[in-house]
Amino acid sequence: MKYRWTRVLVLVLMAVACMWGARGAAAKAETVSYTQGQTYARGWQRIGNTWYYFDNMGQLTKGWLAQGGKWYYFDNSGRMQTGWREVDSKWYYFKKDGAMASSEWCGGYWLNKDGSWTYKYKATWKKSAKGWWFGDTSGWYAKNQTLTIDGKKYTFNSKGYLK
């Protein structure tokens, strides 16, 4: 009787080990997790000089992430992106903190509400005897509005000059 139970126990343990190994191999092929001690990392993690984001299950984020009213983008290795990046054939600008810029001017280029750059004209600051103004190569210039330009808000009067 003891021999039979030992044999059953060995078979069960072998089956569990096979299933665990297959599951572990599949998980390694599809996901990446980062541990701190015995627990999985969650949220923002700086590893070396690179930022990553791990979900509540400890899975590495790749692609787009919406958090705190901001959008972030992570490459196929899970690295948070900054600067100009082409994603799905569209150009985006990601600030130093990784947040996507939208509805603002960055480096002279207008970024749409969805963050994509499609406006082909470039804007620059200009100065005349009356003051500073901001306009682009199409002839457009800012007037009667407040704009975000390179991360800072500027207000322009009805004649287009900086207030």
pLDDT band at 9 (very low <50, low <70, confident <90, very high): very low
**Closest Cα partner for 62 from 40, 30, 38?**
30
Residue-wise pLDDT for 131-146, tens only, equals: 999 999 999 999 999 9
Q: For residue 107, count CB atoms less than 10 angstroms from its CB and return exposed for 0-12, middle for 13-18, buried for 19 or more.
A: middle
Distance CA 14, CA 108 (A): 64
Amino acid at 43: G
In this structure, of 40-44, 83-87, 91-95, 135-139, the range with the lowest mean pLDDT score is 40-44
The whole-chain average pLDDT of the chain stands at: 82
Q: Where are the beta strands (DSSP E) in the chain?
A: 35-36, 39-40, 43-47, 50-54, 63-67, 70-74, 83-87, 90-94, 104-106, 109-111, 116-117, 123-128, 131-136, 145-149, 152-156
Rounded CA separation 146/129 (Å): 22
The pLDDT of residue 11 = 34
At 21-57, the pLDDT tens digits run 333 333 333 345 555 565 678 899 999 999 999 999 8
At residue 132's C-alpha, the angle toward residues 139 and 150, to 5°, is: 80
How much is the pLDDT for 40? 72
